[in-house]
């Protein structure tokens, strides 16, 4: 299989930041808009805050499996496109709608003295963007990325109120990219597909105070994605093959959370800081010079993204011994400055709303459903890439079904 090089353009925005990341990787994660860090109380602590697993029943193991159905509505663009030649043409268009099913698994072991281990297998992000309109096909006919993260971790309980943990992030990425300018009289094409495995780390701490207050902090490291492989470029009837490579640094992310339990209600507030400013340029290297007509594929592309802030609020209400109701809200900033927006990632700030329930069927088995709606703001841009217009609609709808087992 040929390995994706242009894949790296979209991996970065998919894993962290606003864009199309997917922090909702469990039933409660979806239902609470990922405000599930300080007060997580099940197997999904293995991902959201593995230090909190130290405070679960030490004689039991915890397992949660489930899946998230993701619906991506069409993104609409109305406006103009200016090319490097100075020519400006209308570029109205929209992306295809997408439907995706993403499975997940979380597991936490029983306690071995003060030690405990866990593992999560999740899809932490991804991107599917397919434009049908002629102008957009030149820049992003297809961007299709799937990611799977395996996150083993170890937790140590220092005392009855404080625990720490550390884990490894093993990220597998697979994608395909296509560009096609033939419909607007530019006989250039590009096709890339492939995969990559990269590594990072994460650490967490949990502090359980008196009066039902929990405090937590988590940190996921920057990941260097070193991609190399083959690229097939088309120039009229010619098909040209190249070796290529690129390095992209995925930004670090810091999460701080506090929760308060009041009778049957648990309220949690989460602040996330994603250090996107480390993503400055996208620079491809080919093993031989490209023809002048394909020089744009070898250009050093400025990104110069900004660090972002995300604010989450989650509410759990224990309606009865068996039924827990949940709701959440998130305000998510986009890391992409207006002049650097592209068709492959027409991102904007978002308001996210969620709700769900969890039903404890028996002492060992529970299940539930969560729904989340991601509403993207309309965004008008004038970019260095010649885009002069407005992106609208888009966003996402998520429905998660989860099943938990304690044994």
Query: What per-residue confidence (pLDDT) applies to 21?
Result: 64
Q: Which residues of the chain have pLDDT under 50?
A: 1-19
- The sign of the CA dihedral 111, 114, 115, 119 is positive
What is the enclosing helix (H) or strand (E) of 12? Answer: helix 7-15
In the chain, what are the domain boundaries? 7-64+97-319
Residues 345-362, buried b or exposed e (16+ Cβ, 10 A)? bbbbebebebbbbbebee
Looking from the CA of 312 toward its CB, the CA atoms found within 13 Å total 30
CATH number of this structure's domain 7-64+97-319: 2.40.160.60
What is the enclosing helix (H) or strand (E) of 45? Answer: helix 45-48
What 3-state class would DSSP assign to 27? helix
Tokens of 229: 């492989």
Query: What per-residue confidence (pLDDT) applies to 4?
Result: 38
Please give the C-alpha separations between residue 189 and each of 16, 84, 136, 192, in angstroms, as whole numbers. Answer: 29, 17, 13, 10
Q: What predicted TM-score, i.e. pTM, was given to this entire model?
A: 0.90
Query: Nearest-CA neighbor of 5 among 236, 298, 293?
Result: 298
Query: Nearest-CA neighbor of 251 among 272, 228, 229?
Result: 272
Q: What is the DSSP string of 104-158?
A: EEEEEPPPBTTEEEEEEEE--BEEEEEB-SHHHHHHHSEEEEEEEEEEEEEEEE-
Q: How far apart are CA 106 and CA 103, in angstroms?
A: 11
Query: What per-residue confidence (pLDDT) applies to 16?
Result: 33
Query: What per-residue confidence (pLDDT) applies to 124?
Result: 83
């Amino acid at each position: 299989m040929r390995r994706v090089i242009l894949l790296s353009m979209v991996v970065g925005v998919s894993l962290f930041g606003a864009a199309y990341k997917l922090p909702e990787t469990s039933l409660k994660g979806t239902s609470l808009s990922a405000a599930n860090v300080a007060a997580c109380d099940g197997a999904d602590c293995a991902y959201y805050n593995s230090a909190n697993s130290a405070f679960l029943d030490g004689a039991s193991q915890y397992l949660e499996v489930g899946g998230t159905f993701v619906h991506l509505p069409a993104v609409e663009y109305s406006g103009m496109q200016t090319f490097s030649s100075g020519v400006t043409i209308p570029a109205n268009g929209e992306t295809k709608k997408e439907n995706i099913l993403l499975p997940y698994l979380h597991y936490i072991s029983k306690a071995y003295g003060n030690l405990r281990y866990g593992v999560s297998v999740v899809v932490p992000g991804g991107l599917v963007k397919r434009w049908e309109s002629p102008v957009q096909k030149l820049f992003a006919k297809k961007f299709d990325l799937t990611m799977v993260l395996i996150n083993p971790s170890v937790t140590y309980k220092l005392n009855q109120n404080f625990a720490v943990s550390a884990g490894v992030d093993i990220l597998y990425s697979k994608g395909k990219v296509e560009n096609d300018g033939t419909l607007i009289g530019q006989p250039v094409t590009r096709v890339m597909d492939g995969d990559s495995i990269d590594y990072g780390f994460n650490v967490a701490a949990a502090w359980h105070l008196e009066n039902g207050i929990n405090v937590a902090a988590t940190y996921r490291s920057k990941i260097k994605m070193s991609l190399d492989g083959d690229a097939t470029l088309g120039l009229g009837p010619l098909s040209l093959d190249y070796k290529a490579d690129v390095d992209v640094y995925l930004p670090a992310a810091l999460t701080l959370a506090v929760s308060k339990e009041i009778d049957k209600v648990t309220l949690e507030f989460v602040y996330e800081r994603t250090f996107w400013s480390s993503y400055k340029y996208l620079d491809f290297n080919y093993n031989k010079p490209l023809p002048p007509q394909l020089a744009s594929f070898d250009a050093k592309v400025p990104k110069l993204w900004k660090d972002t802030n995300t604010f989450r609020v989650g509410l759990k209400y224990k309606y009865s011994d068996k039924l827990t109701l949940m709701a959440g809200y998130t305000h998510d900033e986009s890391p992409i400055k207006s002049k650097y927006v592209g068709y492959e990632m027409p991102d904007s700030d978002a308001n996210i709303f969620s709700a769900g329930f969890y039903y404890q069927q028996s002492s060992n088995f529970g299940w539930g459903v969560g729904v989340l709606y991601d509403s993207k703001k309309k965004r008008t841009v004038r970019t260095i890439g010649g885009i002069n217009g407005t992106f609208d609609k888009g966003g996402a709808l998520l429905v998660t079904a989860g099943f938990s087992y304690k044994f």
